[in-house]
Amino acid sequence: MTRTHALFRSILYVPGANARALEKSDGLAADGIVYDLKDAVAPEAKGAAREKLREHLAVSRFAGQRIVRVNPIETGDGTEDLLMARGAGVDAVLLPKVEDTDTLKDAARALDEMDAPARLRLWAMIETPRGIARAEKLARKGVSGRLSSLVVGTNDIRLATGIRPDAARTELLPWLMQIVLAAKANGLFVLDGVYGDFRDVDGFERECAAGRRMGFDGKTLIHPAQIAPANAAFGPGEAEIRDAEAIVSAFARPENAAAGVIQIDGRMVERLHLTEARRVLAMREAIAARSSEPSSRDP
Ligand code: COA
Ligand code: MG
């Protein structure tokens, strides 16, 4: 498939050792799957899970982005995970608990040594106090050209800091915004943390909407039931698409060909809005292409 505009609305964790979940994951309409070899796999099961996942990825028909969450690279398991991910031709490797630049450099060097293609990207989990404090430094291009996304790990942040945020995550917001800013300052994508109570649809929708307002590109998920609401929340809404179309067609009129700024229905519209409108329409195209793929359907 051709991916002109990668989508990040819904990124589902699938436990690497769970055969049933792996099998089920192929047909899901998530924009991406993180095959988890870390938290979701017990220490003594790491090797077996890696082999299961290798077999699965060789035959998987999942059409979205494929990401493997590896164990820390400095452990033997981490290096084996990386080799497996490289061999499987996945889109990205997600590094846990990134808090210093050496972690990123070491992972990038290991991938280079494996002759991994440049399109194999690194995603970094920001889930410790030190990771949050250093997020901008970690996100800088010079650290690793392979880095393309920051992923928030809210459960670990809660554990490591003892923070007890309210349902709106009020107390977490400064830290979340710091991570969002670090990503935006460096042209990276940024994904919000998981919502654990997968039966609470209203609460999940509220948290998705808040995440979108904050500038997240999408949300990490733990359960298939969370895919459709995340896709809806992080995709462009109907009003947004209508606006984008109006802006593109207004600038396309001959009399506006040289205009830097125009008005539409009494609202100032600049060329920067045209850029954003084109992005919204490209995203709509990518979503249409994604949902017409044979293997993407809801469970
Ligand atoms: N990926 C793929 N399939 C999943 C899934 C996931 N993350 N979570 C649930 N499913 C499947 C189940 O296998 C089940 O399939 P089936 O009915 O065809 O057998 C179906 O969806 C319904 O699941 P449900 O019974 O509601 O939940 P569960 O008790 O099977 O699983 C969890 C609940 C939390 C254990 C499970 O969702 C999970 O493991 N999530 C990911 C956890 C994870 O990776 N954590 C680390 C990162 S934070
Ligand atoms: Mg974690």
Domain boundary pick from 194, 215, 235 = 235
Residue 94 pLDDT more than 90?
A: yes
Residue 14 domain-assigned?
A: yes
Domain boundary pick from 217, 235, 253 = 235
Region 188-212: mean pLDDT is 98
Rounded to an integer, what distance in angstroms lies between the CA atom of residue 265 and that of residue 3?
35
Burial (0-12, 13-18, 19+ Cβ within 10 Å), 170: exposed
Residue 295 domain-assigned?
A: no
Residue 3 pLDDT more than 80?
A: no
| Count of residues in the chain | 299
Is residue 189 within 6 Å of ligand 1 at its C-beta?
no
**Does residue 272 sit in the same domain as residue 140?**
no
**Does residue 229 sit in the same domain as residue 247?**
no
Q: What number does the ligand 1 atom closest to the CA of 194 have?
A: 48
Q: What number does the ligand 1 atom closest to the CA of 15 have?
A: 44
Residue nearest atom 20 in ligand 1 by C-alpha distance: 224
Residue nearest atom 2 in ligand 1 by C-alpha distance: 21
- Domain range for 198 is 10-235
Domain boundary pick from 235, 260, 280 = 235
pLDDT of residue 281: 97
Is residue 152 within 6 Å of ligand 1 at its C-beta?
no
Residue 5 domain-assigned?
A: no
pLDDT of residue 296: 43
Ligand 1 pocket test, pick from 24, 53, 152, 198 with the greatest ligand atom count within 8 Å of Cβ, gives: 24
**Does residue 84 sit in the same domain as residue 231?**
yes
**Does residue 104 sit in the same domain as residue 244?**
no
Residue 262 pLDDT more than 90?
A: yes
Q: What number does the ligand 1 atom closest to the CA of 199 have?
A: 26
Amino acid identity for residue 277 in this structure: A
Residue 184's SS3 state is helix
**Does residue 90 sit in the same domain as residue 178?**
yes
**Does residue 143 sit in the same domain as residue 262?**
no
**Does residue 253 sit in the same domain as residue 115?**
no
**Does residue 192 sit in the same domain as residue 181?**
yes
pLDDT of residue 294: 57
Residue 258 domain-assigned?
A: yes
Q: What is the DSSP string of 84-114?
A: HHHHHT-SEEEESS--SHHHHHHHHHHHHHT
CA dihedral (243, 178, 118, 73) in degrees, to 10, reads -150
> What's the total number of domains in the chain?
2
**CA separation, residue 276 to residues 68, 173, 179, 257 (Å):** 31, 25, 22, 18
Residue 118 domain-assigned?
A: yes
**Whole-model pTM?**
0.94
* Comparison of pLDDT for 276 and 5, the residue scoring more: 276
Identify the band that residue 295 occupies on the pLDDT scale cut at 50, 70 and 90: low
pLDDT of residue 265: 92
The rounded Å distance from CA 156 to ligand 2 centre is: 5
Looking up tokens 């945020």 gives 165
Count the alpha carbons within 13 Å of 76 in the hemisphere toward its beta carbon: 3
**Does residue 85 sit in the same domain as residue 106?**
yes
Mean pLDDT of the chain: 94
Residue 128 domain-assigned?
A: yes
Question: For the segment 275-290, what is each residue's pLDDT rounded down to a tens digit?
Answer: 999 999 999 999 999 8
Residue 298 domain-assigned?
A: no
Question: Residues forming the annotated binding site?
Answer: 69, 127, 156
Is residue 40 within 6 Å of ligand 1 at its C-beta?
yes
Burial (0-12, 13-18, 19+ Cβ within 10 Å), 117: exposed
pLDDT of residue 4: 52
**Does residue 119 sit in the same domain as residue 256?**
no
Is residue 193 within 6 Å of ligand 1 at its C-beta?
no
Name the pairing type of β-strands 121-126 and 147-152: parallel
Residue nearest atom 10 in ligand 1 by C-alpha distance: 21
**Does residue 67 sit in the same domain as residue 44?**
yes
Number of Cβ atoms within 10 Å of the Cβ of 194: 22
Is residue 156 within 6 Å of ligand 1 at its C-beta?
no
Q: What number does the ligand 1 atom closest to the CA of 13 have?
A: 44
Kindly provide the b/e burial profile for residues 251-284, where b requires at least 16 CB atoms within 10 angstroms of the residue's own CB: beeeeeeeeeebeeeeeebeeebbeebeebbebb
Region 123-150: mean pLDDT is 95
Question: For the segment 220-253, what is each residue's pLDDT rounded down to a tens digit?
Answer: 999 999 999 999 999 999 999 999 999 999 999 9
Residue nearest atom 13 in ligand 1 by C-alpha distance: 21
pLDDT of residue 297: 40
Region 76-94: mean pLDDT is 97
Residue 299 domain-assigned?
A: no
The rounded Å distance from CA 258 to ligand 2 centre is: 51
- Could you tell me the CATH number of the domain that includes residue 133? 3.20.20.60
Beta carbons of 134 and 109 less than 8 angstroms apart: no
Is residue 222 within 6 Å of ligand 1 at its C-beta?
yes
Residue nearest atom 24 in ligand 1 by C-alpha distance: 223
**Does residue 211 sit in the same domain as residue 273?**
no
Beta carbons of 234 and 212 less than 8 angstroms apart: yes
Looking up tokens 């077999």 gives 55
